[in-house]
Amino acid sequence: DTAVSQTPKYLVTQMGNDKSIKCEQNLGHDTMYWYKQDSKKFLKIMFSYNNKELIINETVPNRFSPKSPDKAHLNLHINSLELGDSAVYFCASSPRTGGETQYFGPGTRLLVL
């Protein structure tokens, strides 16, 4: 059974479109994260939710909007996609907030044309 799953795995879309990425964890963790990994493999946190409450909101364009319907799910909606949004987006979870061990999903490879 997959611990942290993301859909879709690949996403190819045109500039200006709106898209969503979904994440689910079955580990019973309280905290979930979205990361962006650029072409140089640099991993940067975007958002974090703890029990459906937003606790980390990095300097991210407001075209990106996370939503956590329950503590097992964290979705990422991106409006008006731009070329620079092309990257791999990872969802992760941890038992609690703070510097806990994190469990990562397989990633969603987004290509904006």
Binding residues for another protein, per CB under 8 A?
A: 4, 33, 40-45, 48, 50, 55-56, 90, 92, 97-99, 101-107
- Number of CB atoms found within 10 A of residue 68's CB: 19
Least separation in angstroms between residue 16's CB and another protein is 28
Closest approach, Cβ 36 to another protein, in A, equals 11
Question: Residue 6 class from Cβ within 10 Å (0-12 exposed, 13-18 middle, 19+ buried)?
Answer: buried
- Closest approach, Cβ 93 to another protein, in A, equals 11
Nearer to another protein, 48 or 75 (CB): 48
Question: CB of residue 56 vs another protein: minimum separation in angstroms?
Answer: 6
Toward another protein, which CB reaches closer, 84 or 98? 98
How many other CB atoms sit within 10 Å of the CB of residue 65?
A: 13
Geometric angle at alpha carbon 71, from 63 and 85, rounded to 5°: 25
Given the complex with another protein, which of 13 and 103 has the nearer CB atom? 103
Nearer to another protein, 33 or 64 (CB): 33
